[in-house]
Structure 1
């Protein structure tokens, strides 16, 4: 893997094609009139160089620098022996190495190629071929470097998509499980506290714990189906604004009196409804776990082109962690949800006491969005 995070490898079949192609391209050279060593000597040396070049090409994937240097040296030898033939497969090797290695590492090979390819022509005072070989070297290296850059960009995009998907899964799992598990913990603790004193109340708390567990399992099954299936899950719908009262009821059962107030009317996209529901869910979960309060009010208002969500509790905003209540995934997840929907989010102690969470989610921009 190069410094740009991209790994380019030659498949065995392409190495074999390079070897066969180099022999096929170089063989006609033997019919040219040699410039040095005489007819027999020049051809013997050319055959040896062809064999060395073929062997180097076979190892091009494993040893790109050494193999490329050998091929370029063989190309320079071909030009010395048979000036009319040219540098052979040097340009193909230069392009391939520029694709296999990062640009910073293949620039030295470009310089070596210019010397090996253009040098013999300059020594022989063949100015036009020397200029043509120079242009060909620059083009071959540029094509290889551009191909690598495109490959590296695709790899980076796939890696970013994978990271975003992992973050989405973590956020959904947190939202699905955090609320119901918190309710279950509170209910179980309450049942344990009053079991000896009031068995009927304890059984009621246990039943609420069971209901919360079933709800968590249902939402988790739905979420796992959405992860497995490309076109989404069927059956269990995603939570919406209509489920806020059910959400509030589960929190009331855990000891936090919640009032839900909805204002305004109009169509709200599914993605915005799910985002608003999750934000309210996390805000109430944090209030239940951290606030030590007794009441909370949830206001959901359709305000022009936006859905405004406001949650305030009467808990101890000065208790740790007051400025960052739910300091794990909570506030970060709510802020991320609002941002993904193109909205804004704020949270902190309320001037009149308690803790407040507010999100403004655009309706029009997200009308075609997905959760």
Structure 2
């Protein structure tokens, strides 16, 4: 494992050393015209590969000029030496794979010049086939390196895009949880305030009006039972979120009592909305009440953004142990085909449902529209 890591860190010096040994070895058995001058040129041509990644253009120029000069002192070495050809390919590949920006602009004419040199020195007479072969022989390695580099850049860009999308989604979750925490904090604070007032009233009427005191104690029990569930939800949210304080702490929290106003507002924006209520309308815990309102609000916002104001149906189903919220829109074929991203609305809905310990289903309804169904239990099980 250590040997592999070392080789990965010193890959280019190893390649340069092997190329130098191979080329010098072939020169030793080759009948060079001037071996004393050819050997240093071979060392320069191979040694320049050490900088093929960090300085691809200078490394290419050094290797190319050394190889061209080598053919003068060792005529025919370019046709008989395997190492010569390998160095030739490696330096061209590296010129395509490791140049960026202005270096690419410089690399293109260098490749063209090398192609012309190769074709003109390939022999006489010059033929069209020689030009095609020379272009492929010289341009092929460079183009391969360039294509692999562009492919790698695209893959990295895609990975960075995925990371950015995940970070945006994580921020959206944190912001939604922060808002939920603030709202639940206000709900619990209100419950505690009501409890204090009821306790004061019970204390004052305990002797003079026991029945009134009993009613006050009943109200305290009911209020604190609901507040206990909301407190559990609040603590669950605060485990991962800190409030940022950007919301007015004195602003009243909406509830299902304000749902008609919300529906009227959306209708005024051009969305035909039908509101249905089934079951016995009952007082639900404030946290569930607030979450139900926010879920409907977020679903209607998504209709305005992504469903081109298509007809929408809202249904509230009150059961003994839970409130079910259903929002269904008819959708729009043009909107569905546009592929517009849905944003973070569904993240908010899922976070709302998770806070109250419920479950949610969200997705296409099979007829071109979208359907959101959330079940919100009135109480959380003790853990």
* Band of TM-score, shorter chain: 0.5 to 0.7
C-alpha contact 2:296 2:327 (8 A) present in aligned 1 = no
2:63 corresponds in structure 1 to 71
2:11 corresponds in structure 1 to 14
C-alpha contact 2:181 2:234 (8 A) present in aligned 1 = yes
Structure 1 SS opposite 2:344: helix
2:344 corresponds in structure 1 to 333
**Residue 156 (1) aligns with residue 174 (2):** no
* Cα pair distance change 1:332/1:362, threshold 3 Å: closer
CA displacement at 1:208 relative to structure 2: 4.1
Structure 2 SS opposite 1:195: helix
C-alpha contact 1:79 1:121 (8 A) present in aligned 2 = no
Considering only CA atoms, is the larger Rg found in Structure 1 or Structure 2? 2
CA displacement at 1:148 relative to structure 2: 0.9
Deviations along 1:287-330, one digit per CA (max 9) or x if unpaired, are: 9xxxxxxxxx95269xxxxx96179xxxxxxxxxxxxxxxxxxx
CA displacement at 1:54 relative to structure 2: 3.2
2:327 corresponds in structure 1 to 309
1:165 corresponds in structure 2 to 166
CA displacement at 1:131 relative to structure 2: 5.8
Superposition TM-score, scaled by structure 2 size: 0.52
Greater per-residue helix proportion? 2
**Residue 211 (1) aligns with residue 210 (2):** no
**What CA distance in whole angstroms lies between the structure 1 residues aligned with 2:27 and 2:133?**
19
C-alpha contact 2:299 2:345 (8 A) present in aligned 1 = no
CA displacement at 1:211 relative to structure 2: 2.3
1:51 corresponds in structure 2 to 43
CA displacement at 1:181 relative to structure 2: 3.2
Superposition TM-score, scaled by structure 1 size: 0.53
**What CA distance in whole angstroms lies between the structure 1 residues aligned with 2:175 and 2:295?**
9
**What CA distance in whole angstroms lies between the structure 2 residues aligned with 1:255 and 1:15?**
66
**What CA distance in whole angstroms lies between the structure 2 residues aligned with 1:162 and 1:132?**
44
**What CA distance in whole angstroms lies between the structure 2 residues aligned with 1:177 and 1:337?**
11
| Matched length | 256
Calculate the aligned-residue CA RMSD, in Å: 4.7
Gap runs ≥5 in structure 2: 1-6, 79-83, 201-215, 242-252, 260-274, 279-289, 301-312, 318-324, 330-341, 350-361, 371-383
* Cα pair distance change 1:154/1:366, threshold 3 Å: farther
| Map 1:77-96 → 2, pairs under 5 A | 77-86=69-78, 88=85, 89-96=87-94
| Map 1:225-264 → 2, pairs under 5 A | 256-258=255-257, 261=276
